[in-house]
Chains A and B, each alone.
Chain A
Amino acid sequence: MSKRSDMTNTHNWSGQKLVSTDYLLFEAPREKHFMTGSEVLKEAMKRCTVDASVSYPITPQSEAAHLIGELWAEGYVGTYFRGENEFGVMSEVAGCAMAGARTVTTTSGPGTLRAMENFPQWSGTRIPCQLVLMARGINSPLTIQPDNLEVSFMLETGCMIWYAENVQELFDMSIAAFTVAEKPDVHVPIITVVDGFFVSHTREAVMLPADDIALEPYDPYRAPLPPIDSETPPGRFLRDPFVMKSNYISYATHASWQWEVRSAVERSRPYAEHYLKGLIHITGEEDAEIAFVTCGTASNQAKEAHRELMKLGIKTKVIKLRTIRPFPAKELLAAVEGIKHIFVPEFNVVGWLEKEVRKELYNKCEADIVGGPRVAGGMSMPAEAIIAEVMEKINPGKGA
């Protein structure tokens, strides 16, 4: 097994040369590979000098979790084990991160909800761990189909939430995620989301840097709260009298802490802008009057609809949101200038992204916002469904 004591100033314990995030993401030469999302996540974690990972099987993230286990067996990850269930796993991740480890785990759908109490606890303790969420439908009835309803539940946990469209973005984002989450002025958990199956099980061309380079190790002593390792005085948060005492100071303590966690998420903006090359990504016609606001694989479908609509002479653009928390409100507002109709295609029944878009644009934008098309339960979203929505809007009663 690998030993942390094998690390030097220039190489990590598995012998990989330590490089900056900028070099790894932007400068290192890359080669083309053909991989699934699960496989590419292994490749990303291989280059992240990961200290700890805890896993639990649930479709569709099981393969990603066991591939990270293989990394451990190969000597790239410090410690790895299978927990008893998702609540246990997220608790174990909390322990690992509190003790000063760069920690990653993965989950999907019902597992996310089973573990739910842990996510605000993660952000409340300011641990910079990463959850790669391969979104899947929520029971009942039992489902293993793709759907991203669960993200709706995650929005107010105090964690950062990023959303990758495809295999390439998953690779780059999951590396940048550690870097941003570990910034001392941010230092909150990060959830990198992909649509399960659509990304986790899809094999795509992906450009990867060499695997003999990796991120600098996590330094827990730069954290705003000291690690629980007995090497420094403990974090005040975990020692001071509990804020459940009924007095004004307790209320104020808890309230200010909640605001501070959310402020920390906001402080991640400039870092995310740098490493993601913008919080949003726009494709399509600059002078379009129709925009699709999307995240994840819905972006891909919207781009396909854009191409088809172009053939009909209808100009559209796709505004893909890369970060959901923090929400790129300013960028979105600028991107919808001159837009008359906004469509929000989503892979869930509640339309959580539409709610987010409406909330941020309310009273700031004249555009008509359409919450759709919306598919759920694993249904696919063909470009035709998006085109039909647009045609119904601009050509009422006549359809596509």
Chain B
Amino acid sequence: MALDIYKINPEFRDIMPQEIIDLEEKATWSVNRDTPRGIKELPDTKELLEEHSLCAGCPEAAALRYVLSALPKPEDTIIVNSTGCTSLMFPHIALHTVHSLFGNQNAVASGIKRVLDWRFPDIEKDVVVLAGDGATVDIGLDYTLQSFFRQENITTICFDNEVYANTGGQESGATAKGQVFKMAPLGKKFDKVPMWELATTSGCHYSVNMTASAPKAVAKAVREAILVAREIGPTFLNIYTPCILEIGLSANEGLGEMKDQDKDRFASYKYVSPEAEEFLKKCKEEGRI
């Protein structure tokens, strides 16, 4: 593993903004490798630059921090992302990431994971897909489900904002029925795709539908999902990160929107296969979660 994932050129160090220096000093895994980071360390650590590319108040930025803080082994984790708002954040974190094409994230991740297992049979290497609902539910659905069918040992996280946000607000498969968006001028004609249920029936051993309103809950799900993917098989998290811009909310209203949806379209759903449950029980006994 490489512990100098993020290094500032010494020649430029004196002109670098503090947040970039923080990203090297407080998010570099070598500093904390002996004491695994967790959600509790969020106030003192740096997962994502403040000057990231997302809109002010975007819940996705918060959700990404929760996800990164929960990675069990960040120095040996590859995140594969896809075209969309999620992909804009990745240049602003200190982690190995791959952006390939729109929708092929689970296929690329499958190749990476299989080769890492082949090249490093004695090292735990985690591969995590992190993409939006357009990439996961629409253009990339085939590749997402097929990776579940094939029992790839990867975790797929969908940041579901129920819209193609980065392209300007078009309906996606995850949009609620009846919602008016661009390209759905009379309202969306079919129901929101229940991706978490598809994940369960397609072979995932751990599938969750939730919002990003509660950091600890997100972190727990991420850690459990990655551990299960490492040992048992594919896992899936569907996390509501509303596009406040496209649904007409102010920068400070994202959290409230997520809390409202905790009881509605994103009411808690959790499936854990019997073998995953057994494994998680063992992890708990060993203090891994």
Are chains A and B native binding partners rather than an unrelated pairing?
yes
- Per-residue interface assignment for chain A, residues 84 to 98, with 1 indicating a CB less than 8 Å from any chain B CB and 0 otherwise: 110111011111111
Given A239-B90, A239-B91; A99-B104 close (CB under 8 Å): no
Interchain nearest-CB distance for A68 vs B (Å): 15
Of the candidates B53, B75, B107, B115, the one whose C-beta lies within 8 Å of that of A99 is B115
Interchain nearest-CB distance for B191 vs A (Å): 25
Which residues from 1 to 24 on chain A have a C-beta closer than 8 Å to any C-beta of chain B? 3-5
Contact A3 B78 (CB under 8 A): no
**B2 interfacial by beta-carbon distance below 8 Å:** yes
**B125 interfacial by beta-carbon distance below 8 Å:** yes
Contact A98 B91 (CB under 8 A): no
**A175 interfacial by beta-carbon distance below 8 Å:** no
Of the candidates A4, A51, A92, A234, the one whose C-beta lies within 8 Å of that of B108 is A92
**B272 interfacial by beta-carbon distance below 8 Å:** no
Of the candidates B4, B53, B100, the one whose C-beta lies within 8 Å of that of A233 is B4
Query: Interface residue count for B (Cβ, 8 Å)?
Result: 43
A-B contacts, CB under 8 A, total? 135
Contact A233 B119 (CB under 8 A): no
Interface residues on A, range: 35 or more
CB neighbours of A98 from chain B (8 A):
98, 108, 111-112
Interchain nearest-CB distance for A316 vs B (Å): 46
Contact A99 B1 (CB under 8 A): no
- Per-residue interface assignment for chain B, residues 1 to 22, with 1 indicating a CB less than 8 Å from any chain A CB and 0 otherwise: 1101101000000000000000
Contact A230 B125 (CB under 8 A): yes
CB neighbours of A52 from chain B (8 A):
111, 114-115, 118
CB neighbours of A54 from chain B (8 A):
111
| 13 additional A-B residue pairs with CB within 8 Å, beyond A91-B104, A99-B112, A228-B112 | A51-B118, A54-B111, A84-B142, A87-B107, A88-B107, A92-B107, A96-B115, A99-B115, A101-B118, A118-B104, A233-B7, A238-B97, A242-B91
Chain A interfacial positions (CB closer than 8 Å to B): 3-5, 51-52, 54, 78-79, 81, 83-85, 87-89, 91-101, 103, 117-118, 121, 125, 228-234, 238-242
Chain B interfacial positions (CB closer than 8 Å to A): 1-2, 4-5, 7, 53, 75-78, 80, 87-88, 90-91, 96-101, 104, 107-122, 125, 142-143, 146, 150
Nearest first, the 8 A-B pairs at minimum CB distance are A95-B111, A91-B107, A91-B104, A99-B115, A96-B111, A84-B146, A92-B111, A95-B108
